[in-house]
Each structure stands twice: as C-alpha cells, then as structure tokens.
Amino acid sequence: MYFPYLRGKQFELLALKELVVNNKISNKVVPVIEPLKPSSTLANTLEVFVENELGVVVISNPSVGNFLLEYQKDDKEGFRTRYEELLDSSSILFGINLGNSEGLDRLNLKKFQDKIVTICTDTESIHLHSELIGSNAYYNLIKDNKEFSREITYNKVMLEDKFNLQKRNADYCKIPDELFSSDHIFYKSEGYLGFADYSITGSDYTEGGFAPYAIAIHIVYFDSNKKLRIKHFTSDSNDDYTDPAGKFYEAISKLVDCPELQNINTDGLNELRACFNKKKYPGLGSVKKMAIKHHLELMNTFLINEEN
C-alpha cells in the first residue's frame, strides 16, 4: 500500500478529489492529509473519500498551518459539525503526529482507538508511541531506520522524503533526471505493510507562494527495472520573474517531447499535454496538482498490476 503524505493546500486537496471522482485511485493508495485550515475544499475532499468508501488519513494535530486555531472560531461552527460527522466515518483514519506535542493532550484517543495512524519521524518522540498508543495503531508511519523499527515493531509503513529539493527551480536544470524511489519494490521484504513519501512536493513546508525566476515541472516514471525515477522539466529564460506563461511553455515543451513519457497516459499527464496543445498556462498551483495526480495514479496502477 502507498501512503502519499500531502499538506492540505487547495491544489493538493483538489488533486485527491479529482482522482477519486474519476476512479483513478483505489484502496491501494491511502493519502495522508495534514490540514492547514478548515476549508470547504477540505470537507468536500474528505466527503468524496467517504462516499466512495476509500481510506484517507487526517492528521488530528497538524504541525503547520492554522487549522487548530481557526477550527475553534465561532464562524466555523458549520464546518465543525460537518467535519466531526466525517471523522466518524470508517473511511477516515485518525492520524497522530507524535513529533508535534501541541494538541496531543486534547486528542480523544479512546474514541478513535480502532483507527489510529501514527506518524513518527523524530527519534525524540519514539517514547510517546508506547506511552500513548501501545499496540493500538492501525498503521505506524516511521522512518526506515533501526532506531524506529526496534521499538515500533508492528503495522509499520516506511515514510521517507524522496524529493530532492533544490534551493532554486533553476537548479533542476543540472539534474534533469534522477532516481526517485525503489521503496515500492522492497517494502514487503523489509518488513513493512506499506511505503509513504511526500510525492513531488517534499516534506518542507512554505506558507504562500511567490513568482519564481524559473518554472520546473516534476514528473515521475518507471524505468526498465521498475524503479521510480523523476524528470525535472525546467524553463530556459530564468533571469527574472517576468512572463511565467512563456517559462511554462519552455518547460512543457520538453515534457511533451520526452521519450520516456510517450506511452504513459495518466489523467494528470494528459492534462499537462492538453495545456501545451492549447497553449494555455494554468498557473503554478494547477501544474503541481496535475503532477501529483500523475504520481498517485501511476502508483495505484503499479500496485494493482503487481497484485494481479
């Protein structure tokens, strides 16, 4: 099973919603959402998972964003009612970030004890697993490291940041193609129930966005050995932040001509190709949404084919 860890930004949530609505992911893919704010997009996304009886993990004590603060405001009463009803569904698993002490003491662990998912990537928080959770977790997302696996020994899912983040988008020009991951090949033989990563966004979180000097499109694909590699399609005119549409066209032109992607037809990849054909610049958020959709659909297809 694959557990893509995504922050609850609008375009990440829309990527998940569209994948479910269009029947492009199955129970082989269980997204982990760290909500940033109590929005209708978040509620609508969770709702389609519930309606389609697909599993999704929601982090109850997010470490980024303002979810917990805004959640308590008077004008969020309607959201709270809807959200709490959704959390009661068997499709929604109760995620706990053991590395974030904020809100841990307020969690209703007893209520959700049969569907707890822990996230533990900090060695200093390993002790909290035995103190708070014991042997009750449905899944445990941990780093692939002996310090974690020695003490958290059951229902393990390896969580690693596979995205090689660069300081500037222009830096991807130097690494147009690189290995992304082989966890999907070896996770079972290494004693894990599943594998997890942060898709093509990486684990670093930044608030808001800015106009970049370069535009980079990150697309994963399988090589002949079934290892997952990633292509970085980067614009050429990167001296200033003017003409983002032109920069996008430079990057997308390289994507549509890439031989390794010619026979791949995921929704996300086809949406990017359509932008090229229509000479349409959809905006950076939509580009990221399409790349995430491509990654998750590709992994879903791989896992289904491996089982058959």
Q: CATH number, domain at 133? A: 3.20.20
Q: Is 32 helix (H, G, I), strand (E, B) or coil?
A: strand
Report pLDDT for 209: 64
- Kindly tell me if the per-residue pLDDT of 8 is higher than 70: yes
Distances from the Cα of 216 to the Cαs of 141, 165, 239, 248, 295, in angstroms?
29, 11, 14, 8, 16
pTM here is 0.96
Distance, CA of 241 to CA of 18 (rounded, Å): 30
Asked if residues 128 and 146 have their Cβ atoms less than 8 Å apart, the reply is no
Q: What integer is the mean pLDDT of 83-90?
A: 94
Residues spanned by the domain of 256: 2-307
Report pLDDT for 206: 81
Q: Which helix (H) or strand (E) holds 169?
A: none
Number of domains, the chain: 1
| Average of per-residue pLDDT values in the chain | 94
Distance, CA of 120 to CA of 99 (rounded, Å): 6
Report pLDDT for 104: 76
pLDDT tens profile 20-41: 999 999 999 999 999 999 999 9
- Beta strands per DSSP E along the chain: 2-7, 32-34, 56-59, 92-97, 116-120, 139-142, 156-159, 177-181, 194-197, 216-222, 228-234
Which residue would you say has higher pLDDT here, 107 or 18? 18
